[in-house]
Structure 1
Amino acid sequence: MTVNILFAAKEERWPTYEPHLRRALDDKGLDYDLRRDFAPDEVDYMVYAPNSDVQDFTPYTRLKAVLNLWAGVEGITRNDTLTVPLARMVDDGLTQGMIEWVTGHVLRHHLGMDAYIVNPDQEWNLIVPPLAQDRSVAILGLGALGRACAETLVGLGFKVSGWSRSPKEIAGVTCHHGENGLTETLAEAEILVLLLPDTPATENTLNAETLAALPRGAVILNPGRGPLIDDNALIDALNSGQIGHATLDTFRIEPLPADHSYWAHPRVTVTPHCASETRPASASRIIAENIARGESGQPFLYLVDRDSGY
C-alpha cells in the first residue's frame, strides 16, 4: 500500500528538501507518494516545520506521525489538535553544526579575539589568555546537543560543568541538576552556554537573580532559545559590567527587530539564528528511517514528551 507523505513546510523549502527526501525514502524501499497538496484525510505522515500553514491537525484523520524538521518543538507541543506521535529532529548534521558554532565562540571569547579583530585604535594589545584547562565553561541543558558540545569542549581541555533538570552522567563533565545544582553551575561559569529547550519551566532561566550568580565579567552564549533570557535583565547586567559579553543567536522575536537595543550594544554580538541549521540530506535520512519504522511496527525515534515539552 502506498504511503502518503505531506511536506508541510514553507514553499521555498520544497525544492531543497524534495530530492533528498526522495533519495532517502527510495533507499528504504518504501512505496510512497510525497507531495505538498494532499487532501487532509489522505495523509499518513507529515514532514513538518512549526511555521507551516498547517496549524489545525483535526482534519488529518489518517495521520500516523508528525516528523519535525527542527530540533525545537515549542511551536507545536502546545497544539491541542495534535494527538499523534511527534518526533523532533535529531541528526548528525544538526549536532555537528551546533558543536562548531559553540566551540568557535567559546574559543573566540576564551582567547579574547575580539580585542584583535575589533581594534579601531590600531593598538598593539597583547592579551595572554589562560590555557583551556584553567577556563571554566558551563552548559545549561545536557540533551543531545548539550552533551555533544560538552564532550567536544572537554576534548579541548576546558573545565566543563553542566546543568539539567534530571541527573546526567558525562565523562569529564561535572554534572549538576535541580535548583541547587543550577546555582552551583552558574557560580563557576566564566563562559555560559544556553542549550535548554523553550518550555514554561525554562523561560527567563537567566534573570536578574541568576545573572548576578555568575562570576563578574562572565560571557553568555545563547544558541538555544530566545525566551531563556530576560532581555531587560541582561541589558542591565551588561551595562553594569556583571556580564562581559553576550553572543546571541536566538531571540523572542525573529528576525530581531531593527530597533532592538541588542544591535547597538557594544557588548553584544548578534548572529542570525545560524548556530545549527537543519541539513536537508542528513535530516531526510532521519525522516525516512522514522517512516520505515512506523510502517514496520517499530517504535519511532526521538519522540517528544508532550508533558515536558521536548
Structure 2
Amino acid sequence: MALLFKVDDARGPAWLSLFRQHAPDIDVRLWPDTGEPSQVRYFAAWQPPQNLHEQFPRLEVIFATSAGVDQFDLGELPEHIKVVRMLDPGIARGIIEYACFAVLSLHRQIPLYLQQQRERQWQLHPLVPATKRRVGVMGLGNLGAAVLESLRPFGFELSGWARSEKDLPGVRCFAGNDRLPAFLAQCDVLICLLPLTDDTRGILNANTFTSMPKGAQLINLGRGGHLIERDLLDALASGQLSHAIVDVLNDEPPAPDHPFWQHPAIWLTPHIGANTSPDSAFNVLLANIRRHQQGQAMLGEIARDQGY
C-alpha cells in the first residue's frame, strides 16, 4: 500500500520525513517517482493529473491538499474513489488571521489613511464603534464559523448566510436563496468563504453588490470563480462599494495589465489566506488514512452531488 504525493518541491520532503518518523508502515512516494502503479492506494495533491485512475488502477482515495476541491474534475473520477478535503487546523488559523486583519483594516479605515499618507495629508475621520459595524460571512462551514467566532470579541454585529439552516452563537443566521437579499442588505463588510460549486459560481456579482448598503466593502477569501470582476469594478466606480480586499482570482497570477493591480480601492494579495503545512496537517491526514484502513468514515469526505 502506497501514498503518492504530488506537491511542490519544498513540502514534499517534509511530508516524507513525517511519515517515515511516525508511520513507517506507509510507503510514501513523491511525484514523479511513482514506483509500481498498482501499489498506490492513496494520492494527495492540490490538483491531480488527468486520467489518474487509469494510471493507478487500485487507487481508493484522493486527498486534496486544500480546504476545497473545486479544482478537481469530479466527473472524471469513478464513484468508488473517495475524495477528501484537507481539514488542516493551520488552514483555519491562516484564514482567521487574514479575515481579522482585513475586517479590522476596513473597520479602522486603513485604506483611506494609507491613501492620505501617499498624498501627505494629515486628516482624522470619525471612528465608527465596532458595535455599529455589521460584518457578514457567506459560507458557514468550518472556516466561516471559525472566522465569526474570532470576530466576536471585537463587538461587531455578526451575521452569516449558507444554503442550509445554521445556528451559531452570537450570529444572526440566514439560509437559502430567498433570504440572501435580506442578509446582504445588512452587511457593511461582506466576507466570502463559500465553497465553489455550480450554485455559488459568480455569486459576487452586480445583483449582490446592489443589495448591499451603499459604500459597503468586500473581502473575497473563497475562490476567484465566485467573483465577477467587471461587476466589482463597476460597483467601485459607482460608489456602491467603497473598497475590496481580494485574495483569489480566476487567473493566477493576473496579467500585467489586470485592472486590480493599480486600482486605488482594491487590495490584492497573491492567494495567501492560508496554505497547508505538513507540520499542522500531518496528524489529520494520518488519522484519515487509519480510518480508511479500518473501514471507517473519513473526516472531510466530500459529497459528490454537492461538490464539498
TM-score range, shorter chain: over 0.9
In the alignment, structure 1 residue 175 sits paired with structure 2 residue 173: yes
Q: 1:232 aligns with which of 218, 230, 234?
A: 230
Shift of 1:66: 1.2
Change (3 A) 1:45 1:80: same
What does the per-residue CA deviation read over 1:63-97, in whole Å, with 9 as the maximum and x for residues that have no partner? 22111111120111534234311110112111011
Determine helix, strand or coil for the equivalent of 1:263: coil
Q: State how 1:189-228 maps to structure 2 within 5 Å.
A: 189-228=187-226
Shift of 1:5: 1.1
Q: 1:295 aligns with which of 278, 293, 296?
A: 293
8 Å CA contact retained: 1:77, 1:309: no
For residue 43 of structure 2, what is the amino acid of its counterpart?
M
Q: 1:135 aligns with which of 125, 133, 136?
A: 133
Change (3 A) 1:34 1:175: same
8 Å CA contact retained: 1:139, 1:193: yes
Distance (whole Å) between structure 2 residues aligned to residue 25 and residue 183 of structure 1? 50
Shift of 1:251: 0.5
What does the per-residue CA deviation read over 1:206-233, in whole Å, with 9 as the maximum and x for residues that have no partner? 2111111111111100011111111111
For residue 94 of structure 1, what is the amino acid of its counterpart?
I
Distance (whole Å) between structure 2 residues aligned to residue 24 and residue 136 of structure 1? 46
Determine helix, strand or coil for the equivalent of 1:192: strand
Q: 1:76 aligns with which of 72, 77, 86?
A: 72
8 Å CA contact retained: 1:67, 1:87: yes
Q: 1:38 aligns with which of 12, 35, 40?
A: 35
Shift of 1:105: 0.6
Q: 1:65 aligns with which of 52, 61, 66?
A: 61
Distance (whole Å) between structure 1 residues aligned to residue 252 and residue 43 of structure 2? 25
Distance (whole Å) between structure 2 residues aligned to residue 267 and residue 23 of structure 1? 48
- Which range moves more in the overlay, 73-82 or 131-140? 73-82
Determine helix, strand or coil for the equivalent of 1:216: coil
For residue 74 of structure 2, what is the amino acid of its counterpart?
R
8 Å CA contact retained: 2:137, 2:144: yes
What does the per-residue CA deviation read over 1:238-271, in whole Å, with 9 as the maximum and x for residues that have no partner? 1111110110000011112211111121111100
Gaps of 5+ in 1: none
8 Å CA contact retained: 1:115, 1:125: no
Determine helix, strand or coil for the equivalent of 1:66: strand
Where does residue 99 of structure 1 map in the other structure?
96
Shift of 1:56: 2.8
For residue 93 of structure 1, what is the amino acid of its counterpart?
G
Where does residue 247 of structure 2 map in the other structure?
249
8 Å CA contact retained: 1:8, 1:53: no
Aligned residue-pair number: 303
Distance (whole Å) between structure 1 residues aligned to residue 230 and residue 296 of structure 2? 47
Determine helix, strand or coil for the equivalent of 2:250: coil
TM-score scaled by length of structure 2:
0.93
For residue 102 of structure 1, what is the amino acid of its counterpart?
A
Q: State how 1:13-28 maps to structure 2 within 5 Å.
A: 13-25=11-23
Determine helix, strand or coil for the equivalent of 1:58: helix
Q: State how 1:115-130 maps to structure 2 within 5 Å.
A: 115-118=112-115, 119-130=117-128
Determine helix, strand or coil for the equivalent of 2:234: helix
- Which range moves more in the overlay, 66-75 or 13-22? 13-22
What does the per-residue CA deviation read over 1:173-216, in whole Å, with 9 as the maximum and x for residues that have no partner? 00001112111111000000000111111011121111111111
8 Å CA contact retained: 1:9, 1:53: no
Q: 2:184 aligns with which of 183, 186, 204?
A: 186
Distance (whole Å) between structure 2 residues aligned to residue 82 and residue 111 of structure 1? 50
Shift of 1:293: 1.0
Distance (whole Å) between structure 1 residues aligned to residue 51 and residue 106 of structure 2? 41
For residue 187 of structure 1, what is the amino acid of its counterpart?
A
Shift of 1:133: 1.1
8 Å CA contact retained: 1:77, 1:306: no
- Which range moves more in the overlay, 184-193 or 41-50? 41-50
Change (3 A) 1:268 1:39: same
Shift of 1:163: 0.4
Identity %, equivalent residues: 35
How large is the RMSD of aligned CA atoms in angstroms?
1.6
Distance (whole Å) between structure 2 residues aligned to residue 133 and residue 6 of structure 1? 49
